[in-house]
Structure 1
Amino acid sequence: MILAVAGFIGVWQAPGVVNDWLVASDPVAVPDATITDGECRARRVVFVECSAHITYEIEGKSLEHDIELMFVDFNTGDYEVDVVRSASQPNRAALSLGLDMLWNRTLVDSTLVLAIAAGGIALFAGGIKSDRSRRLARRESKLDLREVKVAQISPVLGGKYVQFQYGVDRKGGPLLAMSRFGGKEEPYWIDGQRGMALAALPEGASVPVLLDAELKRLDASPPEIATIAVRLKRIMAGA
């Protein structure tokens, strides 16, 4: 979904930015153009979204365009705009505001798309690691039991996502992973505050598997379950 949002922003803004760069290469003012439904809205104080419908004539032929712009600006007043077209491609037109903010728009759009896409790729990579850990957990292998801190529980349709911290990176930042639980499923809590849960790191995996309360995520034998019970008693005793 995050990658889809990045793609949507790119598809939404990129054609307008490319069009305005082409207009900016050989601009010609269109003084008799008509601008209707012109509006600019500030979002989150500095992000400005503008839209307008423009109409102009070239050799007796009427041309119309819907224009949408997004840029960063601290201006709180109105904008005065003119219509500008390309001399070599008369069917390409832009607002003077769009040309004035062209570098601004290019940098803002590129940064947004790249930042959102990077976040989506990071989550996707984390999901691949988690899936690999779950596959390894269902094989016969040595499991390293770990206490992990639950950072957040986010309800979703049909269940919930549980985000947990399983370590720190080289810079001291938290290493986070997410695990999906069904509506009636719960993590294997090891404290009364529902803040610490039990996870198992399969041999050969880099991300632990967050265990469910009924241990259905593991193909655990009775001896393994007994080992978990002993470990839990030690944790509860403060060992």
Structure 2
Amino acid sequence: MDPVFNAFPTRPVQIAKSGINSPLGSVAFALILFGLLIAGALWVGPNLTRDFIIQADPVEVPEADISNGECSTYRGIVTSCGADIAYEIKGKSVTASLSYLFLDPSNSDYEVSVIRSASHPSMATLSLGLDMLWNRAIVAGAIALALLAGGLALLRTARGAARFQRSLSEPVELVPVAATVSIARKLLFGLLGTTYSVKYTLDGKKYLNAHSGFRGKERPFVLGLDGKKTVLLAAIPRRGGMLILLDAALNRVEFTDAEREAIGAAMAAAA
């Protein structure tokens, strides 16, 4: 790798294509996460509020009918349960479809009864919902925080990518970097190209960075292998910024033909 790095131009060069994910894509995914957060809040929030109210003055309804009761467990710990209930209060029929999401590694069967609020007779839940009330609240809160954090992180990424792309309007001095591929994802079975997630070390610090990768006939510049992992040639502006994966033809950066030939010759000599 050293011969290739030594052949790398030290002059400022213009970036023709950064390969960084579009800020619009990150914004779109952030909006999806925020949408899921809002939808989840509208679904889970009223159910939790109802059960907290019922818990304040619970009354069992032994004559209630429970139907379509079913629970399923994901990965042995995340449990989802649902059932339909029906009962009468002062000659008035009350029906409801109930659902719960909580953590329970026991994978056990549940014996349930219908519990209503003494002060709000038409407000009812299952005893399972009250038993797992704080469990459900914690799970809902954790999911909400994860969605919020993910959305905000994507917005920060989009802001950084937009700022970085604006900074590339002028030539920059680049520092060559060896980037080890962590994950390579083919888009639509490779028809839309491949996205790479890479890790690299710069100034003694380790970084993890994801890239949009390569489209069409474009291929990455492969330096070699680190064990079983592929190592790619990348570059980062000396003044700081995001990592740029270079293509095999070195067309992402406006090198001169002589500079491309020098890098190619250094790569051939190192092989």
User: When the two structures are superposed, what TM-score results if normalisation uses the length of structure 2?
Assistant: 0.73
Runs (4 or more) in structure 1 with deviation over 6 Å come to none
Worse overlay, 76-85 or 155-164: 155-164
CA displacement at 1:51 relative to structure 2: 0.6
Name the CA distance, whole Å, in 1 between partners of 2:249 and 2:229.
Answer: 16
The answer as to 2:232 corresponding to 1:197 is yes
8 Å contact from structure 1 (residues 133, 208) kept in 2: no
Which structure exhibits the higher relative contact order, with contacts defined as CA atoms closer than 8 Å and separated by 6 or more residues?
A: 2
* Equivalent-residue separation in structure 2 for 1:124 and 1:166 (angstroms): 23
Q: Does 1:182 align with 2:176?
A: no
2:199 to 156, 165, 171: 165
What is the one-letter code of the residue matched to 1:205?
G
Corresponding pairs, count: 235
C-alpha deviation, 1:97, in angstroms: 0.4
Please tell me the residue identity of whatever aligns with 1:230: A
Query: For 1:209-220, what aligned pairs fall within 5 Å after superposition?
Result: 209-218=244-253, 220=254
Q: 1:55 to 1:11 in 2, by over 3 A?
A: same
In 2, Cα distance between the equivalents of 1:173 and 1:97?
Answer: 47
Partner of 2:85: 54
Contact 2:250 2:260 in 1 (8 A): no
Distance 1:148 1:139 in 2: 24
- Asked if the contact 1:85/1:94 (under 8 Å) is kept, the reply is yes
Cα distance in 1 between the residues matched to 2:220 and 2:255 = 19
Who is 2:123 aligned against? 92
Q: Contact 1:29–1:82 (CA<8 Å) still a contact in 2?
A: yes
Which residue of 178, 190, 197 maps to 1:147? 178
Gapped runs of 5+ residues in structure 2? 1-28
Query: What is the aligned partner in structure 1 of residue 17 from structure 2?
Result: none
CA displacement 1:16-74 (0-9 Å, x = unmatched):
22221122122222222111100111211111110111112222222221111111112
Note if 1:28 corresponds to 2:59. yes
Secondary structure at 2:102 match in 1: strand
The offset of 1:186, in angstroms, is 2.1
Residues 115-143 of structure 1: CA deviation (Å, up to 9, x unaligned): 34424433443344344334434522222
Quote the RMSD (CA, aligned, Å): 3.1
CA distance in structure 2 between the aligned counterparts of 1:138 and 1:39, rounded to whole angstroms: 59
Which shows bigger deviation, 29-38 or 160-169? Answer: 160-169
The verdict on how the C-alpha distance between 1:101 and 1:26 changes in structure 2, with shifts beyond 3 A counting, is same
- What is the match of residue 79 of structure 1? 110
AA paired with 2:218?
E
